[in-house]
Chains A and B, each alone.
Chain A
Amino acid sequence: MSHQKAQSGITPYVSRVDRRTTLAWLGGAVAAGLAAGAGAVPGAAEAAVVAANTLKGYGTDPKLTHPDKAPWPRLMTPAQLQAAAVLCDFILPASADAPSATALGVPDFIDEWISAPYPAQVADRPAILEGLDWLEAEAQRRHHAVLLQLASADRAALLTSLAAKPTDPSLNKPHIFLWRFRALVIGAYYTTKPGFKDIGYHGNVALAAYPGPSDAVKAHLDRELKKLGL
């Protein structure tokens, strides 16, 4: 079955979260009544979600110059994290000049996001987790294999069908999920140093004086303004 296809599968995503941090979360999670190994036991994920909602955020006076890692435990199951990784690199694979989303740890960030105890993130949580579960189930349904171990052409076909504007109504929900997931990946990716470079953000460096726009920029503006009759 699936292990026979292992050659065409992709290397599993290795979380960037270090062990010390995971242990700290476990401490917090146990204190909040969270079963260790959430997700392995039926119902544990739901229990974890309920417990997580009672967890606190980073508070109203966090240290800003050297921020602590987000203190809440992560809620994704290993399978969800892997599905997130597959999707991250479908959205932003490596290019000639820039690293992939997984190379920047974006899957862990999405886990941090959907696990956060704040209202906006709590609101994102069900759709993201359900979307990831759907993706895994769809791989099984279409190809009888786990997502990670699909033949690359099958995986690409599955993801591309999701990205296209759905004609099949059963794809509506997964498609909406993909929009939201993509927005999170974009935000997470371009707020890193490699992301800055790729998008063309050149700031955050001290300057002796503000130079103002270059001649090339002014020429571009003049051209465009002329087209607008201004």
Chain B
Amino acid sequence: MSEPYDVIIVGSGAGGGMSAYTLTKAGLKVLLLEAGRNYDPVTETPMFNIPSEAPLRGTSTPDKPFGFYDATVDGGWQVPNEPYTIAEGSEPFMWWRPRMMGGRTNHWGRISLRFGPLDFKPKSRDGLGQDWPITYDELAPWYDKVERLIGVTGRAQGLPNTPDSPDGCLQPPPTPRAYEQFVTRGFNGLGIPVAAMHAAVLTQPLNGRAACFYATSCGRGCSIKANFQSTTVLLPPAMATGNLDIRANALVYQVDLDRTGKAKGVTFVDRVTGEHHSVTARSVVLAAGACESARILLNSKSAAFPDGLCNTHGMVGRYLMDSVGTSVSGQFPALENLPPTNDDGMSVGHIYVPWWGYEKQSRKQLPFPRGYHIEMGGGRAMPGMNLGAMLSASGDLTVGSALREDARRIYGSYIGFAGRGEMIPNEDCYTDLDPQVKDKWGIPVLRFHWKWSEHETGQAAHMVQTFLEVIDKLGGKPTPGYQTDGKQAISRGGEIIHEVGTVRMGHSPEDSVVNAYGQSWAVKNLFVTDGAVLVSSPDKNPTLSILALAWRSSDHLAGLARRGEL
């Protein structure tokens, strides 16, 4: 296709993939620019490989921080040639990035929870944070469409602020595993309800994609396309329209403006050749991942925008959020010597614990304002090198047949509990450009500023207490090393990899960068469709909402384009 395109999309992950899907289906001519290399899950996924076929039995290393077989290409907590910095005096911040087509959707956790009505109106709820410019009901139709398209498990359970999907949206959830049935009784014994997991994994075939066959680890990707990856679910149908060009290894660093102040395209550097190119289009969609989209805006300086594009009110980079996280694991004698079960498949819990404390919080009976949900892991997963540590922690230095018995007894008797909680946006968490440090191509890099508040550390302490209670209720022993002080227990900023905010949507240019459709206030043919636009960071993992918002914004963009209003 030739320039100018109708739309240039920057980034091919959740937001970019969804935008490409919607806009090409609407008949617009689209160029997708992706910083990473091309990536094909069908041929590149190590589906049935076992640890002994990999160096170091697949153990994590700085080269592959989530293990050898994890799908991440050229990235992790650091990306070669693309540093970032932490401001002096800041608490730590970690930024997870891959460099591959489809971005983080290739190895994400696939937990897909709708935000609830309260999550869109946090300030109205208790005075903290900021209300969104939209309500749950306004976004709900796009949640429905996303669930139908990508395939999400779950069941209507009528729990507060945990929306049920209309009939026909969800795939049937799989039966809970043995350890999950066990743990359910523990939570229920504490009066805490447990729900079916909402995961972007097919339990029934959908649109030519096969159902999960309950083997192989989803974090490696899925060559049979049974889980959601942008590369298997969004980009192929977008490609099939004939309206999509894709360019890999294109690291965009600037939005270019024409004389009237509208976006006319973007400039990028080819990561492989080092050459710089500019391409043109009638509109631009940024979806490079929350922080990187802010970086592109901050690096797009002009006479009209000396502090970066759309940054007249200093809002770009502000209100960076992550989820609150902490975890405790326990060993359960009751699970020892359980007849062997096959717990493979779906690679996340078949159940989770939605936040149960809304009532108490509304009566101010909890010392922290917002909730968290609990994710669990356990069972008889494919053994890894950590088995050695597990056996060291729970027994004597046995050898020979005694060791073999210990191994059979201990294996599958551990359960890990992880909390994922809401963070309230604050003035101390933001990103800006580092005044000195540049990437390999001379482009200024991001500098992060981070500080958890008591809202979050108090919540982390409560998570640990809950985990210890349920472990105790089930007769287990917590694995030593956990912290009961929330300040010690809480994850580092960014560590949960739910970083959102930085280009938030809002009611006016003074309180936000984009409007309720991700359209920038300052440049009307410039949109943002990734996690950057989120106004709050509820406990529910963000990606389903990023997808729904990206679809809604792209529908709006397509309408404006059709009516010649861009």
Contact = CB atoms under 8 A, between A and B. Distances in A.
Given A95-B401, A191-B385, A179 B392 contact: yes
B274 interface: no
A157 interface: no
B273 interface: no
The majority secondary structure among interface residues of chain B is loop
Contacts of B214: 206-207, 209-210
B382 A201 contact: yes
Name which of A112, A121, A211, A225 has the most chain B CB atoms within 10 A of its CB. Answer: A225
Given A112-B56, A214-B339, A217-B178, A203 B382 contact: yes
B380 A203 contact: yes
Interface residues of B, number: 81
Interface in A144-196: 163, 165, 175, 178-179, 182-188, 190-193, 195-196
Given A186-B391, A191-B52, A217 B339 contact: yes
A58 B342 contact: no
A202 B80 CA distance: 38
Contacts of B385: 184, 187-188, 191
B389 A183 contact: yes
Contacts, number: 228
A41 interface: no
A213 B178 contact: yes
Interface stretch (A4-12, A21-29, A74-82, A86-94): A86-94
Given A67-B68, A95-B401, A210-B174, A228 B55 contact: no
Interface in B203-255: 203, 213-216, 220
B345 interface: yes
Interface stretch (B69-77, B320-328, B437-445): B69-77
Contacts of A224: 182, 334-335, 475
B113 to A, nearest CB: 21
Interface string A195-230: 110111111111111111110111011001101101
- The 7 A-B residue pairs with the shortest CB-CB distance in the complex, in nearest-first order: A183-B388, A212-B175, A203-B344, A187-B385, A224-B334, A191-B51, A70-B55
Interface of B: 37, 43-46, 48-59, 61-64, 68-69, 73-76, 80, 174-178, 181-182, 185-186, 189, 203, 213-216, 220, 334-335, 337-346, 380-389, 391-392, 397, 399-401, 403-404, 407-408, 411-412, 473-475
5 contacts: A91-B400, A118-B56, A191-B52, A203-B381, A212-B175
Given A60-B73, A203-B382, A210-B346, 18 more contacts: A60-B74, A60-B76, A64-B44, A65-B45, A67-B49, A93-B400, A186-B387, A187-B383, A192-B52, A195-B383, A198-B407, A200-B412, A202-B380, A203-B342, A210-B214, A225-B185, A225-B334, A230-B186
Interface of A: 57-62, 64-65, 67-70, 90-93, 95, 98, 109, 112-113, 116, 118-121, 163, 165, 175, 178-179, 182-188, 190-193, 195-196, 198-214, 216-218, 220-221, 224-225, 227-228, 230
